[in-house]
Structure 1
Amino acid sequence: MRVRSEDGARSEDGAIRLSEADLGGPLGERATLVQFSTAFCQPCRATRRVLAEVAGMVEGVAHLDVDAEARLELVRRLGIARTPTVLVLDAGGRVVRRAAGMPRRADVIAALGRAVG
């Protein structure tokens, strides 16, 4: 997963940070897997299964699925261009990884290692 620079969601230290209010759900104690999806996106369904499985394997990790069509302001602010897009957040809501398209389970696990490590 590759980190990409986004505009409009940076904190004072320059990091992209998202809150529970931004995402509409609780962040994980250790990390959060955020998925931006649309209703008719076939890869989104498979991505949802992968992320839910990984979140279930690692204590303190949450998985949030954000409806991109319902949250257009956030999508624009983060520069989300396609679905699925996955963001990996650390415990403080800082984006540590970002990927577009369906991720492999091994890549998600590796990205979580960076978020919680």
Structure 2
Amino acid sequence: MTFRRRKGRARVRGRDEGTVLGPAELGGELGERATLVQFSSAFCAPCRATRRVLGEVAAMVPGVSHLEIDAEDRLELVRALDILKTPTVLVLDAGGRVVRRASGQPRRADVIAALGAAVTGG
């Protein structure tokens, strides 16, 4: 999984480009600097590994939180954001704006790079 960029902008699929998500939509508080939002499903093995990687990154980067959403329990949000598979990770900036999106199991380095872009606004 990589958080792709095209022509200096985040490559975001679906209707979530520029979408702002808050605690009401996510069911948890946003991080002070950024938030890693993971959409998972119960029998998804890559989701468990993704939970571990995102949790570790959130623990080592101050002001970053990790929220996991069960896709089956939140079908309205899944449809609104055009989530097609699990795991799907959204990286939100401090204001809750979606700045990166990727599907599949992430590499720690990719997550850290995407967080850097979210924190710096790039």
Fold equivalence (TM over 0.5): yes
2:105 matched residue in structure 1: 102
Question: Unaligned 5+ residue runs, structure 1?
Answer: none
Q: What amino acid is the match of 2:92?
A: L
**1:4-83 to 2 correspondences below 5 Å:** 4-7=12-15, 15-83=18-86
Q: Which runs of 4+ in 1 moved over 2 A?
A: none
Tell me how far apart the structure 2 counterparts of residues 55 and 67 of structure 1 sit (CA, whole Å).
Answer: 19
What secondary structure does 2:55 align onto? Answer: helix
- Aligned-CA RMSD value: 1.1
Tell me how far apart the structure 1 counterparts of residues 20 and 103 of structure 2 sit (CA, whole Å).
Answer: 18
Identity across aligned pairs (percent)? 71
- Normalised to the residue count of structure 2, the TM-score between the two structures is 0.89
Tell me how far apart the structure 2 counterparts of residues 72 and 23 of structure 1 sit (CA, whole Å).
Answer: 12
Tell me how far apart the structure 1 counterparts of residues 85 and 12 of structure 2 sit (CA, whole Å).
Answer: 14
Q: How many residues were matched structurally?
A: 112
Tell me how far apart the structure 2 counterparts of residues 38 and 25 of structure 1 sit (CA, whole Å).
Answer: 18
What secondary structure does 1:35 align onto? Answer: strand
Q: Deviations over 1:10-35 (max 9, x none)?
A: 7xxxx111111000000000000000
- Normalised to the residue count of structure 1, the TM-score between the two structures is 0.92
Q: Deviations over 1:57-99 (max 9, x none)?
A: 0000000000000000000000000000000000000011000
What secondary structure does 1:44 align onto? Answer: helix
Q: What amino acid is the match of 1:96?
A: V
Question: Unaligned 5+ residue runs, structure 2?
Answer: 5-10
Tell me how far apart the structure 2 counterparts of residues 67 and 50 of structure 1 sit (CA, whole Å).
Answer: 17
